[in-house]
Structure 1
Amino acid sequence: MLFRSHIRNICGTQLPYFWNTYKRNMCEDGKAKTRVLFCGPHFPASHNYTKEYLQNYPLIQVDDLPFDSIPDVIANYDICVVKSMKLNADVIARATRMKLIMQYGVGLEGIDIAAATNHGIKVARIPSGKTGNAASCAEMAIYFMLGLLRKQNEMQIAVRQKKVGEPIGGTLFGKTVFILGYGNIGIELAKRLRPFGVKILATKRSWASYVPNSFSSTEPISQNGTHEDLVDEKGSHNDIYEFARRSDIVVCCLTMNSETAGIINKNFISSMKKGGLLVNIARGGLVDYKAVYDSLESGHLGGLGTDVAWTEPFDPDDPILKFTNVILTPHVAGVTESSYRSMAKVVGDLAIQLHSGKQLTGIEYAN
């Protein structure tokens, strides 16, 4: 009562507003709440599942707010989950209370990590291999490959035209698949490709020594944890054009950064086999739009399956959709019940740990 009387003397008639704001931001024991901010309306399951996971923790407040409101409110939050927002230096400078900026997944290309570091804010991703996100993305890659090989869009046209026994499709069996970027998603993809009877080529920054063991996904992984034994031929960045030339299907699993942006350009696509298929389950910015469009137009590229786009949300009137050998999905490769609930648990546990003053676990720091 003495505290409330003191506030009344300061605030006068505005007491109800200040008192309600105080209660919203404080726990019953007078301790400040830990507040988690989700940026923007996209990927709604991320904030909904996190709220659900934390519903019995009144000490944690989870908000999802529009993009345009973030700069004005970010100073009130301890954890920020960016999703698809670009968090630049100006916005980060306003995050005076922030302890952690993170992604609901792995991509951190929208965060100015240097600015966060300068302001003493940690930046982190959720490792895809431990949440089921990598497995979900790998399954989506298989979906694209089969959809393009079996001519998914043309089959729907045939149904509408009452045709039977066409179109003639292809099979994965006997194909050569190039995994461009052999990280967690690439590993999960290789596991799933093995039963189809394909040859697997893969590139990554560095490879450990080869340790042969069974191709079974139930077997222990090699010492470096990369399942390198699943790959028939391993290469580095210098081999990407040669591997593209020899492959029937290229699957892009790269992390987006200054070195990889636009890596699938005119030169890369020209190096692919005529009729080769391109699958992208990583980031839209890895692919040069005009190069892909022109290659589809000329018939050199046999098909495109992509879960990510050059601009998101994707323009439903984009001319690239005129091609029947294009399959587009709305950035849902990792959006499955299993992976999203696993990541919600990670975010929720982080909030609980932060509120309790414990060390933050379950994430991978970028600074």
Structure 2
Amino acid sequence: MEVKLFSSGLKVSKLSYFWSSHKRNMCEDGKAKTRVLFCGPHFPASHNYTKEYLHNYPFVQVDDLPFDSVPRLIGNYDICVVKSMRLNSDVIARATRMKLIMQYGVGLEGIDIAAATNHGIRVARIPSGKTGNAASCAEMAIYFMLGLLRKQNEMQIAVRLKKLGEPIGDTLFGKTVFILGYGNIGIELAKRLRPFGVKILATKRNWPSYVPNGFSSTEPKSQNGTQEDWVDEKGCHEDIYEFAKKSDIVVCCLTMNSETAGTINKNFLSSMRKGGLLVNIARGGLLDYKAVYESLESSHLGGLGIDVAWTEPFDPDDPILKFPNVLLTPHVAGVTESSYRSMAKVVGDVALQLHSGKPLTGIEYAN
């Protein structure tokens, strides 16, 4: 029987495959490799830069898998970087080897954190303030503001029609900008807006030194002041409608969760000044699509700049793109060489720390 077993080509093939597969998953010292999974085809620089960072560490394996393969193969990995995939309880239950689920950035709304906790898996984000991600997003917000004020789409039409001196745009100077959600991105945005000569309003749930009903000052703010000095008037979430009435431009920088979903709704939009501009660099679900569409159609909303959408990838035939005062980018606000290299280092360092049994640093836990 023994001779017959090993004389079978099929048996030898299966045995060889087992040992070659086992060898690929083991280090020279006999210890299992630490395996990092990136989910899905989008945001390719995230896994490419991480692979590059870990190139000299063969005991850490980095893979990117199609969405459809993740449920079947997730059990082989120690760390999962979700990117734009939603990890529900069914998928998480299959992650029997998983130690950590993390986002290549901040947003964790696609992860069932309760399910991960029940299965003993930690969930974490990469803080945006230390990687350059917040700064990159803030710069994109300014790009949208300037593009809408200067009528970027109409300028391209004028070029094609060989027209000069039109359209008539507007300046950012003298405008009132409402930063809805004064977190890391909001702080970086306020700092960059100050030299433009704007008035800055901002809301957040908790300020270190909050004065009810906000505060205002006629004194010019310093570009080198503190995080709070960059804001002319502060408020809490209850003040968002009042602040919308005072603003020429609203920039949505909120964290997406069950409480903030649909914050930019019909009531909010109707409270904005006629002709006001709306910019969203956070998450698409913060905006009520129908309400935004109707506000653009009635010309109450003067322009929309979005880096994130209701469905992603964005439908290039979406009716909202018929409006000349809509600017759309493909979720690239934080996708810069600087921020992505920094976040690749965080993911790589976490993998190295996990492999060596050291405490994980550079991340912020959500459970």
2:156 matched residue in structure 1: 156
- 2:278, 2:303 within 8 Å by CA — same for their partners in 1? yes
Q: Which amino acid aligns with 1:127?
A: P
Structure 1 regions of 5+ residues with no counterpart? 1-7, 222-226
**Alpha-carbon deviations, 1:181-228, whole Å to 9, x = none?**
000000000000000000000000011127999955556x4xxxxx11
| Aligned-partner Cα distance in 2 for 1:210–1:277 | 27
TM-score normalised by length of structure 2? 0.94
1:291 matched residue in structure 2: 291
User: What is the deviation of 1:302?
Assistant: 0.0
The answer to whether residue 124 in structure 2 is matched with residue 108 in structure 1 is no
User: What is the deviation of 1:179?
Assistant: 0.2
| Aligned-partner Cα distance in 1 for 2:108–2:95 | 17
| Aligned-partner Cα distance in 1 for 2:152–2:91 | 43
| Aligned-partner Cα distance in 2 for 1:56–1:218 | 41
2:323 matched residue in structure 1: 323
* Alignment of structure 1 residues 80-159 onto 2, 5 Å: 80-159=80-159
1:34 matched residue in structure 2: 34
| Aligned-partner Cα distance in 2 for 1:163–1:321 | 23
% identical equivalent positions: 86
User: What is the deviation of 1:235?
Assistant: 0.3
- 2:60, 2:351 within 8 Å by CA — same for their partners in 1? yes
Q: Residues 217 and 75 of structure 1: is their aligned pair in 2 closer, same or farther, counting only changes over 3 Å?
A: farther
User: Number of aligned pairs?
Assistant: 353
| Aligned-partner Cα distance in 2 for 1:230–1:299 | 31
| Aligned-partner Cα distance in 2 for 1:292–1:203 | 21
User: What is the deviation of 1:101?
Assistant: 0.2
| Aligned-partner Cα distance in 2 for 1:299–1:82 | 38
| Aligned-partner Cα distance in 1 for 2:296–2:337 | 34
- 1:141, 1:189 within 8 Å by CA — same for their partners in 2? yes
2:61 matched residue in structure 1: 61
1:197 matched residue in structure 2: 197
| Aligned-partner Cα distance in 1 for 2:208–2:224 | 21
Q: Which amino acid aligns with 1:82?
A: V
The answer to whether residue 339 in structure 2 is matched with residue 356 in structure 1 is no
Q: Which amino acid aligns with 2:156?
A: Q
User: What is the deviation of 1:19?
Assistant: 1.0
* Alignment of structure 1 residues 191-230 onto 2, 5 Å: 191-209=191-209, 221=226, 227-230=227-230
Runs of 4+ residues over 6 Å off in structure 1: 210-214
The answer to whether residue 272 in structure 2 is matched with residue 272 in structure 1 is yes
2:309 matched residue in structure 1: 309
1:334 matched residue in structure 2: 334
| Aligned-partner Cα distance in 1 for 2:13–2:156 | 66
| Aligned-partner Cα distance in 1 for 2:13–2:91 | 33
User: What is the deviation of 1:29?
Assistant: 1.2
- 2:245, 2:273 within 8 Å by CA — same for their partners in 1? yes
- 1:263, 1:286 within 8 Å by CA — same for their partners in 2? yes
- 1:191, 1:216 within 8 Å by CA — same for their partners in 2? no
| Aligned-partner Cα distance in 1 for 2:316–2:65 | 25
2:5 matched residue in structure 1: none
The answer to whether residue 43 in structure 2 is matched with residue 43 in structure 1 is yes
Q: Residues 196 and 131 of structure 1: is their aligned pair in 2 closer, same or farther, counting only changes over 3 Å?
A: same
Q: Which amino acid aligns with 1:207?
A: W
Moved more, 20-29 or 267-276: 20-29
- 2:128, 2:134 within 8 Å by CA — same for their partners in 1? yes
- 2:195, 2:223 within 8 Å by CA — same for their partners in 1? no
- 1:210, 1:228 within 8 Å by CA — same for their partners in 2? no
| Aligned-partner Cα distance in 2 for 1:218–1:271 | 33
SS of the residue 1:62 aligns to: strand
Q: Residues 210 and 290 of structure 1: is their aligned pair in 2 closer, same or farther, counting only changes over 3 Å?
A: closer
SS of the residue 1:205 aligns to: coil
- 2:200, 2:231 within 8 Å by CA — same for their partners in 1? yes
TM-score normalised by length of structure 1? 0.94
**Alpha-carbon deviations, 1:79-130, whole Å to 9, x = none?**
0000000000000001010000000000000000000000110000000000
SS of the residue 1:327 aligns to: strand
| Aligned-partner Cα distance in 2 for 1:301–1:193 | 22
Q: Which amino acid aligns with 2:152?
A: Q
| Aligned-partner Cα distance in 1 for 2:95–2:200 | 45
| Aligned-partner Cα distance in 1 for 2:343–2:223 | 23
